[in-house]
Structure 1
Amino acid sequence: MSWTVLRPTLIYGCGIDKNVTFIAQLIRRFGFFPILGRGTGLRQPVHADDLAAACLQACLSPAAVNKAYNLSGGETLTYRDMVEAIFQQLGKKPRIISIPLPVFKILSRIMTRLPVAMITRMNQDLCFDHTAAYHDFAYSPRTFRDNDMGFERPINL
């Protein structure tokens, strides 16, 4: 049996993802977004539509048989830059509050609904090379900042 494994990075789009949509919901609701430290961790958000296209391309490519691929987005940006781009997509001026780690630990105990894992990774680089996917089945993802992020359907927190 032939197989191909696709490992996407931070997925967004369609308003149902757990990261970018969550950030957009908080921005809509409160008008600002808190980050831990400076938010310097690198991200490569990949749109769900690009992943769907990659699935089709990989299925049609003999070069993709029995291989695994990292599928990252078409742009590398810091966590802070990603949050600023979400503000811009929502038509809002970026209002980002940096929270020191000791203060965050106190707040996380108080606010149990915070996605702690997402927040603690804000300053970690989570980037992957998708060159092999480009060569084997022409994977070419869009950039994060210059497209529709799929916020047309608001989802309640």
Structure 2
Amino acid sequence: MTSSRYSIRAISILAAMLALSACRAPGSTENTPETVGMCIQTATTTHKLVVERAVTSTERAKGLMGREALQEDHGMLFVYDEERPPEATFWMYRTFIPLDIAYADANGTIKAIKKMLPCASDNSSQCAHYAAGVSYHLALEMPQGYFRKRSISAGDRLVSEGSTSRCPNTDA
């Protein structure tokens, strides 16, 4: 009788876990932002990227925390419904990869690019905060040096592959 009581309890726990996992949005995976293709258009070329879109506050708060590596042409795109002010900051708490961040307006025009250094401290107050210095709707984090190596600068443009401007003449 004791073993059947444990079996019923185990089945009940399994049923509860399955019910909770069904509460997520269809097709989503826990804590995994959507991955999409996009490109950066400069005056002379177009660079194709693969980015994770951090759209929810939870996705944006986690960002690239805990990652130990990031492929050269991969990054994270932070998307905001409202324009963010120049004093809004990003930080590198528990982020182990040196990154560059490009801040862009609602049209995808890059307004500024900044370098951010890793902060592995367990004390979040010891991590630097990086102010955008410009108003923005989008922020694209890439491995440090990505923008410089490709001569990407303010005035260049982020374009989603889902938009009418696909990524023509890509370098990758």
Q: Same fold (TM over 0.5)?
A: no
Of Structure 1 and Structure 2, the greater strand share is in 2
TM-score for the superposition, normalised by structure 1: 0.25
**Structure whose alpha-carbon radius of gyration is higher:** 2
> Which fold has the larger relative contact order, with Cα–Cα distance below 8 Å and residues 6 or more apart in sequence?
1
Of Structure 1 and Structure 2, the greater helix share is in 1
